[in-house]
Structure 1
Amino acid sequence: MSQTQVRRRAALSNELAQKIVDAAKEAATGLGIPSSVAVVDESGHLNAFGRMDGAGLLTVEIAQDKAYTAAGFGLPTDQWHDFIKDDAPLAAGAPTGIRRLIVFGGGLPITVDGEIVGGVGVSGGHWSDDVKIAKAAVAAFEAAVAA
């Protein structure tokens, strides 16, 4: 089999994915926002998850969908609104037609050397707070990879 027929992908280890979840939970605790945190692999499959005490039931699914959206498109979820708002067909069809698409903040892609290796999604507060928590999680990932 030639190299052109098989593509190798970088992947997050379970240990590193759990560190990302832990970093997000620590950031959420610092903000006083009980949250759910999901980390998915490059294919959108759940790798690690944590739900803090007091996080709402719906945060479980929303966090996973934010991570899925971020990994699936390589775009932070908070950029989707601006991406689709001036395109009537896309604005009408994307949120209802693309399963699991989230168009508000809290989901970030996780990349290594420009390659998507996963996504993190946070849900628990206002989406702007979820973004702050997700950024703290990605920063912890970047520090771990750099070490």
Structure 2
Amino acid sequence: MKAHFSLGDQEAQQALNAIHTELLKRNKTAVIAIADSHGELLALRRMDGAGLPSIQVATNKAYSAARLGEFTGDTGKAANTQGWSFSYYGELKYVGWDGGVPVWHQNQVVGSVAVSGLAPTEDRELAELGAKAILDHLNLELIA
């Protein structure tokens, strides 16, 4: 039998609050999505002024990171470098833009954090900040 771990509402709130606070410091807006171990949404925050397309993009980044267990930007780079399409997976929700970060615990993905609406590197940086907030709350380390 295998034990299954997954993020919950409390961990999602840790990530949302950390990212939201940082975005306010930077005077920027974005969409933040937190998913459980299956890639299903636990929380979504669209800040005032964030673009509507970023809602679906952030949701899909969180889904992709949790389901694939990879940083979404790394998956996208591999697809471009190796010349394969995301249709290879048979799932239209997978994306390869930076900004989706898996959260690991005991060698399994327990959820993910995603940000959309800014430059790809900033989306990823903020998603990592959210993942770190979760892991700090749980006294764990980020696996990159």
Separation of aligned partners in 2, 1:31 and 1:74: 29
Query: Equivalent residues in 2 for 1:117-136 (5 A)?
Result: 117-136=110-129
- SS of the residue 1:111 aligns to: strand
- SS of the residue 2:93 aligns to: coil
Given candidates 82, 93, 101, the residue that maps to 2:94 is: 101
Q: Which residue of 2 aligns with 1:75?
A: 70
Separation of aligned partners in 1, 2:53 and 2:16: 18
State the superposition RMSD in angstroms: 1.8
Flag as ranges the 4+ runs of structure 1 deviating above 3 A: 91-95
- SS of the residue 1:81 aligns to: helix
Identical-residue share of aligned pairs (%): 26
Q: 1:14: how far off?
A: 0.8
- SS of the residue 1:47 aligns to: strand
Separation of aligned partners in 2, 1:98 and 1:32: 35
Separation of aligned partners in 2, 1:60 and 1:29: 18
- TM-score normalised over the length of structure 2: 0.88
- TM-score normalised over the length of structure 1: 0.86
State whether residues 86 and 94 of structure 2, in contact with CA within 8 Å, keep that contact through their aligned partners in structure 1. no
- SS of the residue 1:102 aligns to: coil
Q: Which has the larger radius of gyration?
A: 1
1:48 matches 2:43: yes
1:15 matches 2:15: no
Unaligned runs of 5+ in 2: none
Separation of aligned partners in 1, 2:25 and 2:107: 30
Unaligned runs of 5+ in 1: none
- What is the one-letter code of the residue matched to 2:80? K
- SS of the residue 1:86 aligns to: helix
1:66 matches 2:61: yes
